[in-house]
Amino acid sequence: MSVRLPRIMSLIVGAAVVSAGLIAGAAQADTASPSPAASADAKATLTVGITQDIDSANPFTGIVASAYEIYQMQYPTLTNYSAQDFSIVPGLADSWQESADHLTWTYKIHSGLKWSDGEPMTAKDAAYTFNRIINGEYEQTNYGNYVANITKAVATDDTTLVLSVKAANPIMTHLSIYILPEHIWSKVSEAQVKTYKNEPVDGQPVVGGGPFVMAERRVGQFIRMTANPNYAGGPTPIREVVFRVFQNQDAMGQALKKGEIDFADGIEANVAKSLEGIPGITTVNATYSGFNEVAFNTGAALSDGKPIGDGNPVLKDLKFRQALSWAIDRQTLADKVYGGAATPGSTIIPGMYPAYHLTPATPYTFDPEKAKSLLEAAGYKAGSDGVRTGPDGKPIELRLFGRTNSANSKQVVQFVKGWFDAVGIPTTVTMKSEDALTEIIGQGTYDMFEWGWVVEPDPDYQVSTFTCGQRSYEDAGSVLAGLSDSFYCDPAYDKLYAAQGSETDQTKRSDIVKQMQQMVYDAAPYIVTVYYNNLEAYRSDRFTGFVPQPSPSGSLLFQYGVWSYVNAKPVSSAGEGTQPADGSSGSSPGWVIPAGVLVVLIVLAGLVGWLLKRGRGGEAADDRE
């Protein structure tokens, strides 16, 4: 008897521990069910799953996409991009006017606006924000390019903002600068701004002027945004948006399936596939602004023209690069690698931006025979083994780098290798981390690599990556990378780049940008393989009214603007209010938990009983020894 007691005790303790866990779960579920009902309207909380936490809530510091989603929800900009087609529409400013000499811009700010804490929101806040960036050292990190041309900002009255510029500049109609409340940020000194968190303090939401403001943040877990009571657009149907961070795609898909989250953005093709056909879930294959490319080392050099790196010289030959452009099957990449969530690519501004995108008149198609004959004609004759030789008489062999960080990249480089091998250009594939590849590109020690870009609505940045000045540069004895990763350099192109940068007439600017795309397309420093899509999925049984950007097939969230957050609404249902637990995000119907606990307890009791029985048997055996 004395022998048996501790054993029973330990079992009891064990059972108690397990039960405690279950009770904690049940208690939680219990408290979770009434809580959404208690908060004004449970159905008005949109929970969005994201796979990347924000790096900072401070708009001068953050750099990741999720952080910018928060900033644009929280702070207004002077103008907005329309959901329809990225045309410029009023934001904080109702109207704007360029002076005849192109050197002054006057913005009429909407009157009677308030920040979320009730303080007036005026042109003075806008002027403060601009001047802070213009005069700030650290503040320029994220927005320097927008203000490089602005000399000063003045609020002549509460509704008039005047920006003086050095030269005509098209960016002035769409400055993506978040206007901050002066009465908050003036207390953050230049020295403090870098590490200023801009997170809720003492349960008080961050002060903002957009439709939602940050009410709570737990690093690596979630960001809770509540509706701004003073939002200029009036009350939004959604009252709260929660961004929940998932470290892996599969768990995020499961959470959507279960209903813990209502929306999942940027999901992988296999997860999207697993969500298709589930009642209540709608998957979206949205047009996106990203493209992938195979880039050539067209002759690595510093911005002053000094050659660097060890790129294969045949890649300097325009005819060689053009020939290879015919050897790639873009459609196969879109279908096989991207599972159909992509379209064949051509020029460096994706078709998602119709105002600037150029559709080439004579596109490169998949034609290996043509590639071979072009190579032959350019003097790259095939030897008896089928391998072509360069001008130096040596067989050509090219190095192609892929990225270990991307599953798609691994496949793309294998396909490309196969196609290049087939036209007599043996290709060696090496996978590198993006860190390592960044360095290799900057030093020009490559022949080809696979990577991609996400293109902004304004084409300036994207077309700038092909200018001569963006090639690598030397500083204190070491070679550092610029934006150019193909080392393409053409003075005629640079001239066009300067021209588009001072053309404020959009039609004329668009013509120039299209000319530039044609030049790059013809010179083939890149083979733009595909324009890839953004995969999204959401609980269409709970929310409706999302606004795609661009219309009709663009992304529903993570847009240039907050169109969906202000327009989406909970699906109205007859039972609303009578069944508080049903459909409330994050918990199962109320009856399930107690039932589940009961089942588990019964199983547990059985197990304990069985073990006890075994225990006695064992003890008896011991005693006999």
Partner 1 sequence: MALMPEAGLDITAPETSPASGSWASPGVRYVVRRILAAVATLIFVVLFNFFLFRMLPGDPVKLYTRGRNVDPEQVRKLTAALNRPLGQQFLDYIRNPFAANVDSVKYSQPVWSVIGERVWPTLLLVGVATLIATVVGVWLGIRSAWNRGERFDRISTNTTLVLYSMPEFWLGMILLIVLGVGVFGLPGLFPTGGLSTPGVDTSSLRGWLDVAWHLFLPVTTLAIVYLAEYSLVMRASLIDEMGQDYLQTARAKGLMDKLVRRRHAVPNALLPTMTLIFLNLGFVVGGAITIEYVFSIPGLGGLTVDALSGPDVPLLQALFLLFSAAVILANLIADLLYARLDPRVRT
Q: Which residues ranging from 142 to 201 are in contact with partner 1 (CB under 8 A)?
A: 142, 144-146, 148, 176, 194-195, 197
CB of residue 302 vs partner 1: minimum separation in angstroms? 14
Q: How far apart are CA 401 and CA 294, in angstroms?
A: 9
Q: CB-wise, 158 or 456, nearer to partner 1? A: 456
Q: CB-wise, 498 or 592, nearer to partner 1? A: 592
Q: CB-wise, 3 or 12, nearer to partner 1? A: 3
Q: Of residues 95, 112, 192, 218, which one binds partner 1 by CB under 8 A? A: 218
Q: Of residues 97, 192, 270, 433, which one binds partner 1 by CB under 8 A? A: 433
Longest dimension (CA), the chain: 108
CB of residue 145 vs partner 1: minimum separation in angstroms? 5
CB of residue 10 vs partner 1: minimum separation in angstroms? 7
Q: Of residues 15, 19, 25, 184, which one binds partner 1 by CB under 8 A? A: 25
Q: CB-wise, 442 or 561, nearer to partner 1? A: 442
Q: How far apart are CA 490 and CA 506, in angstroms?
A: 24
CB of residue 610 vs partner 1: minimum separation in angstroms? 11
Determine if 407 is a binding residue for partner 1 (CB under 8 A).
Answer: no
CB contact at 8 A, 256 and 539 = yes
Q: How far apart are CA 57 and CA 72, in angstroms?
A: 11
CB of residue 157 vs partner 1: minimum separation in angstroms? 31
**Amino acid (one-letter) located at 227:** A
Q: CB-wise, 377 or 480, nearer to partner 1? A: 480
Contacts of 293 (CB under 8 A, 6+ apart): 345, 450, 451, 452, 453, 526, 527, 528, 529
CB contact at 8 A, 135 and 227 = no
Provide the 3-class DSSP secondary structure of residue 356: coil
CB of residue 162 vs partner 1: minimum separation in angstroms? 23
Size of the site for partner 1 (CB under 8 A): 86
Determine if 280 is a binding residue for partner 1 (CB under 8 A).
Answer: no
Range 315-354, binding partner 1 (CB under 8 A): none
CB of residue 468 vs partner 1: minimum separation in angstroms? 13
Range 231-260, binding partner 1 (CB under 8 A): 242, 244-248, 250-251, 254-255, 257-258, 260
Q: How far apart are CA 511 and CA 498, in angstroms?
A: 14
User: Which region holds residue 379: left if phi is over 0, alpha if psi is between -120 and 50, else beta?
Assistant: left
Range 4-23, binding partner 1 (CB under 8 A): 10, 14, 17, 21
Bridge partners of residue 281, in order along the sequence: 539
Q: Of residues 210, 237, 309, 442, which one binds partner 1 by CB under 8 A? A: 442
Determine if 551 is a binding residue for partner 1 (CB under 8 A).
Answer: no
Taking contact as CB under 8 A, which single stretch among the options 347-355, 375-383, 434-442, 496-504 is the one that binds partner 1? 434-442
CB of residue 410 vs partner 1: minimum separation in angstroms? 17
Taking contact as CB under 8 A, which single stretch among the options 140-148, 184-192, 206-214, 335-343 is the one that binds partner 1? 140-148
Distance of CA 489 to the CA centre of its chain: 29
Contacts of 3 (CB under 8 A, 6+ apart): 619, 622, 623
Q: Of residues 61, 79, 533, 555, which one binds partner 1 by CB under 8 A? A: 61
CA dist 51 → 12, 54, 222, 265, 266 (Å): 41, 10, 11, 8, 8
Determine if 625 is a binding residue for partner 1 (CB under 8 A).
Answer: yes
CB contact at 8 A, 58 and 197 = yes
Determine if 287 is a binding residue for partner 1 (CB under 8 A).
Answer: no
Q: CB-wise, 146 or 563, nearer to partner 1? A: 146
Q: CB-wise, 271 or 547, nearer to partner 1? A: 271
CB contact at 8 A, 528 and 333 = no
Q: Of residues 9, 12, 16, 219, which one binds partner 1 by CB under 8 A? A: 219
CA dist 539 → 29, 48, 284 (Å): 21, 10, 11
CB contact at 8 A, 288 and 267 = no
Phi, psi (rounded to 5 degrees) for 603: -60, -45
Range 29-58, binding partner 1 (CB under 8 A): 29, 31-32, 35, 39, 53, 55-56, 58
CB of residue 21 vs partner 1: minimum separation in angstroms? 5
Q: How far apart are CA 534 and CA 267, in angstroms?
A: 8
CB of residue 516 vs partner 1: minimum separation in angstroms? 18
Range 386-405, binding partner 1 (CB under 8 A): 405
CB contact at 8 A, 348 and 358 = no
Output the CA torsion sign for 457, 452, 516, 527.
negative
Residue 241, judged by CB atoms within 10 A of its CB (0-12, 13-18, 19+), counts as buried
Determine if 221 is a binding residue for partner 1 (CB under 8 A).
Answer: yes
Contacts of 97 (CB under 8 A, 6+ apart): 105, 106
Range 447-506, binding partner 1 (CB under 8 A): 453-454, 456, 460-461, 469-470, 473, 475-476, 478, 480-483
Range 409-428, binding partner 1 (CB under 8 A): none
Determine if 586 is a binding residue for partner 1 (CB under 8 A).
Answer: yes
